[in-house]
Amino acid sequence: MKPLCYDYLNCPTTFSTYDDFNKKFRITRPESFNFAYDVADRIAQEEPDRLAVLWTDETGACIRYTFGQLKEESDRAANLFKSLGIRKGDKVMLILRRHLEFWPILMALHKLGAVGVPATHLLTEKDVLYRVDAARIQMMVISHKDEGVLRSAEVAMQKC
């Protein structure tokens, strides 16, 4: 079946009924589709000041993050991960406890073809060890505010 639209960001929605939608709607994507490049970075190129993330910290302070900023930060993080040996297919556990940095880090991993594995800050040593083994985690990124899980991760990694 021929796709209705090749430009996944600008597809018209011309469905007249729900049944019409079910019969005709198809998600199309290029063979080498990468969300970070093909969607987020494309928006950054076309509208760098467009709001990407609106985030509120623990004190209630609101931070606005544009697509241009998201691209800059994710490019920088991707270069860091690459320099540390992270590549396509690698899994990186993210224990960032609702930190704004989660978003550029996740986009950076997408850019490399790596997989971000979000995890809670409530993990014990046993939990960390299980996840590292089960998912074959190559790296962990842990918030500095989570000393308990950081200690659990350090102990668990010595056993790997």
Residue 95 near residue 137, CB atoms below 8 Å: no
State yes or no: pLDDT of 136 exceeds 60.
Answer: yes
Q: Pick the range with the lowest mean pLDDT from 11-15, 28-32, 40-44, 131-135.
A: 11-15
Q: Look at 41-45, 66-70, 83-87, 155-159 and tell me which has the smallest mean pLDDT.
A: 155-159
Separation of alpha carbons 105 and 155, rounded Å: 24
Residue 8 binned pLDDT confidence (cut-offs 50, 70, 90):
low
Backbone angles phi, psi at 51, to 5 degrees: -65, 125
pTM of the model: 0.78
CA distances from 19 to 49, 78, 95, 148 (A): 38, 43, 42, 52
User: Domains along the chain?
Assistant: 1-32 (no CATH), 34-159 (3.40.50.980)
Angle of CA points 100, 88, 112, to nearest 5°: 40
Phi and psi torsions of 50, nearest 5°: -70, 140
**pLDDT score, position 33:** 86
Residue-level pLDDT at 158: 79
The answer to whether residue 4 scores a pLDDT higher than 80 is no
